[in-house]
A and B are shown apart, each in its own frame.
Chain A
Amino acid sequence: MGIIVCATRGGEASYRTQDAAITLAKEQNDTLLFLYVVDTSFLDKITGAGVVDTEQELSNMGQFLLTMAQERAAAQDAEAETVIYEGLVHEAVADVAHDAEASLIVFGSPGEEGSHFNLSGLEKMAEKIEEDTGVETRII
C-alpha cells in the first residue's frame, strides 16, 4: 500500500484532479495525501505586503481547501489525509514526497480556466521532481 501525494488548491480544475486522485487511490488501495503549498512568491514584487503574516492567512485558507478536498474524498467513500507546506510548489512537493515516502505524485492537467501552469511547464516541473525524488510523477 503506497502513498499518493496530490498537490491541490480549489476551483473546477482542482476538483477534477482531486476526483481522479481519489479514484486512483481507491483502485490501487493507496493512501491519499492532499497537499496545499503556501507560496507567497506573488508578493515578491509588491510593496506593503510585509506587514501582515501572509503565510498564516494562506495557511488557514489552505486548510479550508484541504478540508473541502477531504470531504470530496469522503463523499466517494475514500479517506484522505492533508498536509500544508510552505515554499515554492516544486520544492514543497519534492519535500513532501520525501518526508511522506510517497509512491506516486499526481498533478492535475491544466484546464482552460484557473490553471496556474501551462502543460509544458507542468511537464517540466513533474520531470524535475521525479528526477530529484525518484518518485513516479503523473499528470492526470
Chain B
Amino acid sequence: MKKRWLIILGIFLLFSVLYAPVSARGLGGENADVTLTLTGRVVNTQGLGVEEGEVRVFMGGEQRTLLVAGEEAEVAHTHSDGSFVVDLTLPKEVLETKNIAVEITHSSFRTTREGFSKQEVACANNHCYVSIPEVVLPRVFNPAFFIATGIFLVVFGFISFNIVHETIAALLGTASMLGVTYLLGHANLDFWIIDFHRAITFIDFDVIFLLMTMMIFMAIMSQTGIFQWMSYRTFKTAKGNAFLVTTILVIITGVFSAVLNDTTVMLLMTPISIQIALAMNIHPAAIVIPEVLASNIGGAASLIGTPPNTIIGSYVGLTFNQFLNNMLPVSLIGMVLLIFMTRWLYKDEFNQEGNEPSEALVEQLERGSQITDKNLLIKSLIVFAGTLIMFFTADRFNMPPAAVAIIGSSALLLWVRPNISEMLREVDWTTLVFFMALFMMVGGIQEVGLIQIIAESVKNLAGDSLVLATLLMIWVSAIASAVVANIPFTAAMVPVAVYLTQTIPGAENNVLYWALAVGAGLGGNATYIGSAPNVVAAGIMDRAGFRLKFQDFSRIGVPITFVTIFVPMFWILLRYFWLNF
C-alpha cells in the first residue's frame, strides 16, 4: 500500500518537475510561504525498515516545526516499513537559502543526519517535494543492548533448566526490559530497550488464538478417554508382543501429536503406557521414551503440532498445507527410523519372555481405559475432522490457521454446550501468558539489535551458499534445542531465518524455515530437558517409581535424534537442492 503511494508520489513529482508552471527559483511572491513535503525511508544495515525512528528537520542548523497529520510537532515517526512523510511550512527564501537536513534518531541506532541539495527539490505552485534516498542507520551497542541481551540469556537459562516456571521467567524478562526502559531510558536514551506500546506489537495473536482454541479441543477430547481406550485396545490386540505394542503406541502418539499439542498428548499417553509396560513385564522406558520421541517427531509434521512450528508458520505466514507438504515427509522418515532404532536399542526388553498379567491387573487397566462419554467423543471427533478439513482448505479462503481453530472450537462448544466457566478454566492461561511475555521479550532483543547481529553472523558464515545456510540452520537449531528450550529459541531464530531468506539467493523456496522446524522440533529429542513432552514423560515415570536420569534419556535420545535429523537432512538436500521438486 505504502509502495503504491510512493509510486504515485513519484509520478506526481515527475509530473511536477516537467510541467510545473514555476520552478523552485521562481515561486510566487518573494515573501510567500511554501509547504515542503519530505518523504523517505529509514533502514538498518540489513535493509529492513526501522520503525519508530524519530525524524527531525533542520534548516541552517535550526530545527523546524513539522506538520504531522495536520498537527504541529517537533518530531515525526517512521512507519513499520521505515518510511516517513513530513510536511513543514516555511518562507520560500528560507528554502532557497538555507541548507536542509533530516536527522533520524532511534535509541538502538546511531543518530544520522542526511542533507540534500536544493536541486533535489521539485516545486509546483506553493508546494515543494523532496524524496530523500534511503537512510541507513548503523547499530550502536549501548547499555540497553547489553542489558536486554543479559536479561534474555538469564530468562533463557531459567526456562531451559526449569529454575522457575516458564511463565514467571518470561514475565520477569519482559518486566525487567520495561522497567529498565521506563526507569532509566527516559532519562538516558542509552538505556531505552522497548516501551510497552511497542512491545505489545510483537505479540503474535495468531499464535495465541491458535493455542487457546486448540486447548479447548484438547480439553474436551481428553475427557472422552479416547487416548486411554486406544492404548488399551493396542495392548489387547498385540497379545503380549511388546514390540508390536510399542510400535502401535508410538504411531498413535506421533499421529495425535501432529494435530494436537504434543505436551498434552504425552500427559495422557504416559500413565497408561507405564501400566501397559508393567502388565507386560517390560521396563516402562522401553515404551515411554520412544513415545515421547514420537511426540516430537510427529509434532514436527504440522503447523499446529508443536509450538515452534506454530511460531514459524505464523511469523512467516506459512499455511497449514505448506507445512504439511514440506514437513510431513520429514516426520514420516523420522517415525520409520525411530521404530527401527527402538527395536534395536531395546532389543533386550523386547526379546525377553513376558509373563501373562494377572486378571486383576488387566481389569484395573481396563477400568482406567474406558470411553467415558461416547456422545461427547462422537461430537468432538466430527467437529475435529471438520476442523482438519478446514485447515486443509483454508488457503482457498485466505483464512489464517487461528481463524480456522476459532471456528472449529466455537462449533464444538456450541454443540457440546459444556459449562463454559469450567471449560475456560481448562484453558491453560499460563501458556498463553508465557507466549505473550516471550514475544514481548523477543521484541526487546529485536529492538536493541541482538537478532540483527545473530542474523548477520549466520549470513557471514554462510555467505551466499544456501546449502551451507540450510545445514547451519538445521544443526545449530538441533544442538541448541537439545540443551535449551526450543520455544524461546525458535521465537528468536525466526527473524534470523526471514533475513537469510531475503538475502541468500534461491532461499525463496522457504527451505530455511523447514530447516529451522526440523532442527528445533527434532533437536529437543536428544536430552531430557530438550522439550516439554520429555520433561512431562520423565516426571510421570518418576511418579511411577522409574526415575529417568539425564544419561538414561540421552543414551537413547542422542542416537535417535542424530539419525532422525541426519537422514531427513539428505531428504531436504535432495528435495530443495538436487532435484528441486
A residues neighboring B (CB under 8 Å): 8-11, 13-14, 38-39, 42-54, 57-58, 60-61, 63-65, 67-68, 70-71, 113-116
Which A residues touch B540, using CB under 8 A?
Answer: 42, 58, 61
Measured between alpha carbons, how far is A48 from B428 in the docked complex, in Å?
6
Measured between alpha carbons, how far is A11 from B549 in the docked complex, in Å?
14
For A66, the closest partner residue in chain B by CB is: B364
Which B523-548 residues have a C-beta within 8 angstroms of A? 532, 535-536, 539-540, 542-547
Interface segment, one of B245-253, B271-279, B339-347:
B271-279
Once the chains bind, are B545 and A43 in contact (CB under 8 Å)?
A: no
Which B residues touch A115, using CB under 8 A?
Answer: 547
Interface segment, one of B21-29, B113-121, B193-201, B262-270:
B262-270
Which A residues touch B546, using CB under 8 A?
Answer: 10-11, 114
* Nearest 5 CB-CB pairings of A with B: A9-B545, A11-B545, A42-B539, A60-B368, A50-B428
For B168, the closest partner residue in chain A by CB is: A45
B residues neighboring A (CB under 8 Å): 162, 164-167, 215, 218-219, 222-223, 228, 261, 263-264, 267-268, 271-272, 274-275, 278, 358, 360-361, 364-365, 367-368, 426-431, 434, 532, 535-536, 539-540, 542-547
Measured between alpha carbons, how far is A9 from B261 in the docked complex, in Å?
28
Q: What's the least CB distance linking A80 to chain B, in Å? A: 13
Once the chains bind, are A61 and B542 in contact (CB under 8 Å)?
A: no
Measured between alpha carbons, how far is A119 from B430 in the docked complex, in Å?
35
Measured between alpha carbons, how far is A57 from B410 in the docked complex, in Å?
27
Which B residues touch A71, using CB under 8 A?
Answer: 358, 360-361
Measured between alpha carbons, how far is A46 from B164 in the docked complex, in Å?
9
Which of A9, A49, A64, A71 is packed against the most chain B CB atoms within 10 Å? Answer: A64
- Identify B544's interface contact among A11, A43, A67, A70, CB under 8 A: A11
Which A residues touch B434, using CB under 8 A?
Answer: 47
Can you list 22 A-B contacts (CB < 8 A)? A9-B544, A10-B545, A42-B540, A45-B166, A46-B165, A46-B263, A46-B536, A47-B165, A48-B428, A49-B264, A50-B427, A50-B431, A51-B261, A51-B426, A52-B264, A54-B267, A58-B271, A61-B543, A64-B361, A67-B360, A68-B361, A113-B547
Once the chains bind, are A45 and B264 in contact (CB under 8 Å)?
A: no
Once the chains bind, are A51 and B536 in contact (CB under 8 Å)?
A: no
Once the chains bind, are B365 and A64 in contact (CB under 8 Å)?
A: yes
Which of A8, A50, A51, A60 is packed against the most chain B CB atoms within 10 Å? Answer: A51
Once the chains bind, are A46 and B545 in contact (CB under 8 Å)?
A: no
Once the chains bind, are B368 and A65 in contact (CB under 8 Å)?
A: no
Once the chains bind, are B547 and A116 in contact (CB under 8 Å)?
A: yes
Q: What's the least CB distance linking B412 to chain A, in Å? A: 14
Once the chains bind, are B431 and A116 in contact (CB under 8 Å)?
A: no
Measured between alpha carbons, how far is A39 from B545 in the docked complex, in Å?
12
Q: What's the least CB distance linking A4 to chain B, in Å? A: 19
Measured between alpha carbons, how far is A65 from B427 in the docked complex, in Å?
30
Measured between alpha carbons, how far is A64 from B545 in the docked complex, in Å?
13
Which A residues touch B360, using CB under 8 A?
Answer: 67, 70-71
Q: What's the least CB distance linking B384 to chain A, in Å? A: 15
Which B residues touch A14, using CB under 8 A?
Answer: 545
Which B residues touch A60, using CB under 8 A?
Answer: 228, 271-272, 275, 367-368
Which B residues touch A64, using CB under 8 A?
Answer: 275, 278, 361, 364-365, 368
